[in-house]
């Protein structure tokens, strides 16, 4: 190979173009070496040095070749050999090539150096901005080694701990107290500062240090002292609210127990008195005692329900129950209050309402008592009218009064707790809880309580209670008053309106008049209106006797005359005015009583009183005037051990059981109860006990009785109606838990059932 060719190959090999990755050194695996990971100023210096070296080499090589070329050209001019001319030409060309390649390489290296410089500047600027933000926010920024030694930290940490340079120290050595949180690598750190203890939310992350390549822990912490203090205050407030709620529940349970205990005695004793010989007047007074007692029970239930709903533990307990007797019992209970004010109260039940439905009867009774009682309370004249119908799967009861009505503002707040409308004298008569509790009960049950009122025009409350048809077959109603033609002579009002609609619903016809002149006109066309019954209100009995009784249409001996009177008006004067009538009806009417009177099955005035008039007939009576009583069920004989510390309640239960044929032994505390069970005397067949008596804890005593070798059934009577307590008592071994005041028939039925099961075993 010629010399020029060898020189060209050598130049190409020495000054060949660098690879596209900038000539970065490679390790054995082909990955970027350590020089690539170098960061910061070292990258810029290396790039500048590479540029200077390439540029210098290119200039030196170019000048050398150019000198050689010029010498050769000069030699040509001095008649050198032609080869020298060729060599000189090649030298000049090589010099130009070397200079050009050197300039290109230097340009590339310079561009890479500029990029490295820009990137370094951006990184430094970002780090500076981030550091400034953390400093402004007073955040702690720290870098630690894996063994916990501080490598570097910002000035905020130094200001907080009072150490100028914490480098090389651990967090515990500078007084940081770490508290683990729910998330990993998150802590609450308490730092004691001259201004007091501060709490920082601390976050750790493990990364590789770009300058050294070592793993380090990078930490950032922010002051959350005020947030933690607020959280602590909220937690304290929540616990205080829970304690207050628990205290309120205990208070209500205690008040309920203390009120129900005497109420149990009052209602139980009234039941026993009702089984003795009483005059009609005495039975009327007794009915008032029972109504007042039930009203107190209702008040206790209202308070407990309010607490239960507030705690979110409200539950419905639907069961199959007759609808009409429930409505009639509530109206009867409130009728004395209405009659005392000189107003009427009447109730009509539509024919589409089944006799028995599946619903929560006690809740509906409670709502009715509150709503109707509220209507009676705020109605000074006129009266209160109830109408009950069926709308899909809801029983709908509308309660309309002729009171003063309400403004829009009063309507907006009438369903709020402890809110009352009306004047000051009316507000003194209640707590303002009845409507609020009723609305919430219906809302929880899936129903509603709504109000429509106009000032000066009265109010209408609409009750919607979920109810389903009974699963048991119920005999269809076939118009029990079909063929009855009734003339009703009574003042206009809810009572006469309800009576007329009830007669027509049951298949009869009714002509209602309130004026004598209108009755005289009707008497002239009596041929077209044959009568089977005449119902005369006692308030118009004088007008009827003077103006109408002698007319042929009203004097027909085949026409039955019925005297309509309030139960409170059964005085001597009322009895005198009622002479010459075949039967009496008592307002407010029971549907069954109306049917029996208009069918002629109830005639004798002398054997009737307010209670018997309104006592429902449970089965269809025979055609005879006197129906035979069903035989009294035989109860198994047995011994009952009664544990009751209240003497009135003890006497009440003992009297009921003794009359039913049971032998009863009484004790007054838990030690006496356990002693009687473990003594040598006759062992009782059953235990009836209160859960709160002296000398022990009720659950433990019941557990001891139920877990004994010769265990006997235990019936618990308690004034505490909390479901959780009842479940605990059943879990402890109680056979039955009943709330005071227990209905005597229900208690006797349960005693007989458990006694029979005990004897059979």
Q: What is the pLDDT of residues 347-371, one digit of tens each?
A: 999 988 888 888 888 888 888 988 9
Closest C-alpha among 411, 413, 406 to residue 455: 406
Determine the pLDDT at residue 28: 37
660 close to 688: Cβ distance less than 8 angstroms: no
* Length of the chain (residues): 761
Q: Which H helix or E strand runs over 47?
A: helix 41-77
Name the β-bridge partners of 200.
189, 223
Q: Find how far residue 106's CA is from the centre of its chain.
A: 80
For the chain, the maximum distance between any two Cα atoms, rounded to a whole number of angstroms, is 177
Q: Show the CA angle centred on residue 363, arms to residues 358 and 364, nearest 5°.
A: 70
Q: How many domains does the chain have?
A: 5
Band of pLDDT at residue 477, cut at 50, 70 and 90: low
Q: Would you say 575 and 610 are in contact if contact means Cβ atoms under 8 Å apart?
A: no
CB 402 within 8 A of CB 458: yes
Place of tokens 């000074």: 380
**Structural domain of residue 125, as residue ranges?**
3-132
- Cα 279 to Cα 609: distance, rounded to the nearest angstrom: 9
Q: Rounded mean pLDDT of 566-582? A: 61
CA torsion 357→363→369→371, rounded to 10°? Answer: -100
Please, what's the b/e burial string for 137-164 (b: 16 or more CB within 10 A of its CB; e: otherwise)?
eebbbbbbeeeeebbebbebbeebbebe
Angle between helices 225-274 and 647-659 (to 10 degrees): 50
Whole-number pLDDT of residue 715: 92
Q: Is 175 part of any domain?
A: yes
Whether residue 280 is contained in a domain is answered as no
Domain contains 294: no
Residue finishing a domain among 132, 152, 178: 132
Does residue 275 sit in helix, strand or coil? Answer: coil
pLDDT (0 to 100) of residue 460 = 94
CA separation for the pair 590, 539 (Å, rounded)? 20
- Quick check: 355 and 474 in contact, CB under 8 A? yes
Residues 605 and 645 in one domain: no
Query: What end-to-end distance do the CA atoms of the chain give, in Å?
Result: 128
Give, for 338, the enclosing helix (H) or strand (E): helix 323-340
Rg (CA), the chain: 51
CB 383 within 8 A of CB 399: no
Instruction: Give pLDDT, residue 628.
Output: 42
The mean pLDDT of 145-168, rounded to a whole number, is: 88
3 state SS of 299? helix
pTM: 0.52
Average pLDDT, the chain: 76
> Are residues 452 and 522 both part of a single domain?
no
Residue 623 lies in a domain: no
**What pLDDT is recorded for position 427?**
43
CA-CA distance, 533 to 516, in Å (whole number)? 18
pLDDT at residue 136 is higher than 60: yes
Alpha-carbon distances of 581 from 100, 529, 563, 608, 734, rounded to whole Å: 141, 21, 6, 13, 56
Quote the CA–CA distance of 24 and 37 in Å, as a whole number: 11
Residue 36 binned pLDDT confidence (cut-offs 50, 70, 90) = very low
560-565 and 533-537: which strand pairing?
parallel
Q: What is the pLDDT of residues 2-31, one digit of tens each?
A: 554 554 465 455 544 444 444 433 333 333
Are 113 and 82 contained in the same domain? yes
Whether 461 is in a domain gets the answer: yes
Helices marked H in 193-322 — which ranges? Answer: 225-274, 280-310
pLDDT tens digits along 700-718: 889 988 888 878 899 998 8
Over the stretch 535-566, which tens digit does the pLDDT of each residue have? Answer: 999 889 888 988 888 888 888 888 899 998 88
Say how far apart CA 85 and CA 62 lie, in whole Å.
Answer: 18
Do both 152 and 128 map to the same domain?
no
More confident residue, 631 or 749: 749
Phi/psi of residue 696, each to 5°? 165, 180
Residues 533 and 516 in one domain: yes
pLDDT score at 345:
93
Counting other chains too, the contacts that 337-342 makes at CB distance below 8 Å and 24 or more residues apart are 337/373, 337/376, 337/377, 338/376, 338/379, 338/383, 338/384, 339/566, 339/568, 340/568, 341/376, 341/379, 341/380, 342/381
**pLDDT range class, residue 319, cuts 50, 70, 90:** confident
CA atoms within 13 Å, Cβ hemisphere of 569: 21
464 shares a domain with 338: yes
Structural tokens at position 743: 């209905």
Pair (160, 122) in one structural domain: no
The count of other CB atoms within 10 Å of the CB of residue 39 is 13
- In this prediction, residue 490 has a pLDDT band, given cuts at 50, 70 and 90, of very high
- Residue 589, helix vs strand vs coil: coil
One domain, residues 647 and 603: no
Structure tokens, 680: 């040598």
Residues with Cβ within 8 Å of 70's Cβ and at least 6 positions away in sequence, in order, are 88, 92
pLDDT at 534: 92
Long-range contacts of the stretch 276-285 (C-beta < 8 A, 24+): 280/570, 280/608, 280/609, 280/610, 281/570, 283/609, 283/610, 283/611, 284/567, 284/568, 284/570, 284/609, 284/610, 284/611
Same domain, 752 and 739: yes
| Neighbour count for residue 412 (Cβ, 10 Å) | 12
Specify if 508 maps to a domain.
yes
Q: In what order do the strands lie in the sheet with 319-322?
A: 319-322, 356-359, 468-469
CA separation, residue 751 to residues 633, 738, 759 (Å): 13, 12, 12
Angstrom distance (rounded) from CA 436 to CA 351: 31
Same domain, 460 and 321: yes
Look up residue 26 and give its DSSP letter: B
Tokens of 659: 């009359």
* Residue 669 placed within a domain: yes
**How many helices (H) and strands (E) in the chain?**
24, 24
**pLDDT confidence of 531, banded at 50, 70, 90?**
confident
Closest listed residue to residue 468, CA positions, set 323, 370, 644: 323
* pLDDT, average across residues 242-268: 74
pLDDT at residue 424, as a whole number: 41
Cα–Cα distance, 219 to 176 (Å, whole number): 13
In a domain, 291, yes or no: no
Rounded to whole angstroms, the Cα distance separating 611 from 291 reads: 12
128 and 155: one domain? no
Q: Is the dihedral of CA 153, 155, 161, 167 positive or negative?
A: positive
pLDDT tens profile 96-135:
666 666 666 667 776 777 776 666 666 566 666 777 777 7
Q: For 450, list phi and psi in degrees, rounded to 5.
A: -120, 165
Q: Between residues 46 and 103, which one has the greater pLDDT?
A: 103
Q: Which of 406, 435, 469 is the last residue of a domain?
A: 469
pLDDT score recorded for residue 137: 80
CATH number of the domain residue 548 falls in: 3.40.50.2300
pLDDT of residue 236: 92
CATH number at residue 181: 3.30.450.20
> Which CA distances in Å does 431 have to 363, 406, 426, 461?
19, 19, 11, 19
Q: How confident is the model at residue 374 (pLDDT cuts 50, 70, 90)?
A: confident
Q: How large is the average pLDDT for residues 417-440? A: 58
The larger pLDDT score, comparing residue 11 to residue 1, is at: 1
Q: For 273-287, 301-315, 472-486, which range has the lowest pLDDT when averaged over its residues?
A: 301-315
Inter-residue contact 433 to 320 (CB < 8 Å): no
Tell whether 546 and 574 lie within a shared domain.
yes
Out of 180, 208, 223, a domain closes at 223
């Amino acid at each position: 190979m010629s010399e020029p060719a060898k020189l060209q190959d050598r130049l190409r090999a020495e000054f060949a173009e660098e690879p596209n990755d900038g000539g970065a050194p490679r390790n054995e695996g082909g990955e970027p070496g350590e020089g690539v990971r170098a960061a910061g100023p070292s990258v810029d210096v290396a790039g500048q040095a590479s540029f200077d070296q390439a540029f210098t080499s290119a200039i030196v090589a170019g000048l050398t070749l150019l000198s050689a070329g010029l010498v050769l050209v000069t030699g040509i001019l001095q008649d050198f050999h032609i080869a020298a001319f060729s060599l000189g030409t090649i030298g000049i060309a090589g010099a130009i090539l070397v200079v050009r390649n050197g300039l290109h390489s230097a340009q590339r290296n310079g561009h890479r150096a500029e990029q490295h410089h820009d990137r370094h500047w951006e990184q430094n600027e970002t780090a500076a901005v981030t550091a400034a933000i953390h400093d402004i926010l007073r955040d702690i920024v720290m870098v630690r080694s894996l063994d916990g030694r501080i490598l570097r930290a910002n000035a905020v940490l130094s200001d907080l701990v009072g150490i100028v340079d914490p480098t090389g120290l651990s967090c515990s050595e500078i007084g940081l107290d770490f508290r683990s949180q729910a998330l990993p690598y998150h802590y609450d750190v308490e730092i004691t500062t001259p201004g007091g203890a501060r709490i920082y939310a601390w976050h750790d992350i493990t990364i590789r240090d770009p300058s050294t390549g070592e793993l380090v822990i990078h930490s950032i912490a922010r002051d959350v002292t005020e947030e933690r203090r607020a959280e602590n205050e909220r937690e304290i407030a929540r616990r205080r609210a829970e304690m207050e709620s628990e205290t309120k529940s205990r208070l209500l349970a205690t008040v309920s127990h203390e009120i129900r205990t005497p109420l149990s005695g009052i209602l139980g004793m009234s039941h026993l008195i009702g089984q003795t010989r009483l005059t009609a007047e005495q039975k009327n007074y007794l009915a008032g005692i029972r109504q007042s007692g039930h009203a107190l029970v209702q008040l206790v239930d209202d308070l407990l329900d309010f607490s239960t709903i507030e705690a979110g533990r409200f539950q419905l307990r639907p069961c199959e129950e007759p609808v009409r007797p429930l409505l009639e019992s509530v109206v009867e209970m409130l009728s004395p209050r209405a009659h005392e004010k000189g107003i009427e109260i009447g109730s009509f039940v539509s024919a589409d309402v089944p006799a028995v439905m599946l619903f929560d009867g006690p809740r509906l009774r409670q709502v009715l008592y509150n709503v109707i009682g509220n209507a009676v309370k705020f109605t000074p004249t006129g009266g209160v009218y109830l109408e009950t119908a069926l709308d899909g799967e809801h029983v709908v009861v509308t309660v309309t009064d002729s009171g003063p009505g309400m403004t829009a503002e009063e309507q907006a707040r009438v369903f709020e707790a402890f809110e009352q409308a009306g004047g000051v004298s009316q507000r003194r008569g209640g707590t303002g809880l009845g409507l609020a509790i009723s609305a919430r009960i219906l809302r929880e049950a899936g129903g509603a309580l709504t109000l429509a009122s106009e000032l000066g025009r009265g109010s209408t409350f609409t009750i919607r209670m979920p109810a389903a048809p009974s699963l048991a077959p119920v005999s269809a109603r076939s118009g029990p008053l079909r063929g009855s033609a009734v003339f009703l002579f009574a003042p206009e009002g809810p009572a006469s309106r309800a009576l007329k609609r009830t007669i027509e619903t049951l298949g009869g016809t009714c002509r209602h008049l309130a004026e004598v002149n209108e009755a005289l006109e009707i008497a002239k066309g009596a041929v077209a209106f044959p009568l089977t019954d005449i119902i005369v209100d006692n308030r118009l009995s004088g007008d009827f006797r003077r103006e109408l009784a002698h007319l042929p249409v009203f004097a027909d001996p085949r026409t039955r005359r019925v005297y309509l009177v309030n139960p409170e008006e059964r005085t001597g004067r009322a009895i005198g005015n009622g002479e010459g009538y075949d039967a009496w009806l008592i307002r407010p009417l029971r549907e069954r009583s109306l049917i029996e009177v208009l069918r002629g099955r109830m005639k004798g005035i002398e054997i009737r009183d307010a209670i018997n008039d309104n006592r429902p007939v449970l089965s269809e009576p025979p055609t005879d005037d006197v129906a035979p009583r069903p035989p009294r069920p035989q109860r198994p004989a047995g011994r009952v051990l009664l544990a009751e510390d209240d003497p009135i309640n003890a006497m009440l239960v003992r009297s009921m059981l003794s009359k039913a044929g049971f032998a009863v032994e009484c004790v007054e505390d838990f030690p006496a109860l356990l002693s009687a069970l473990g003594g040598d005397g006759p062992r009782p067949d059953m235990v009836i006990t209160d859960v709160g008596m002296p000398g022990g804890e009720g659950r433990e005593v019941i557990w001891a009785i139920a877990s004994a070798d010769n265990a006997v059934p235990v019936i618990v009577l308690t004034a505490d109606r909390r479901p959780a307590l009842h479940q605990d008592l059943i879990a402890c071994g109680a056979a039955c838990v009943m709330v005071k005041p227990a209905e005597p028939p229900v208690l006797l039925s349960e005693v007989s059932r458990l006694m029979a099961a005990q004897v059979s075993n």
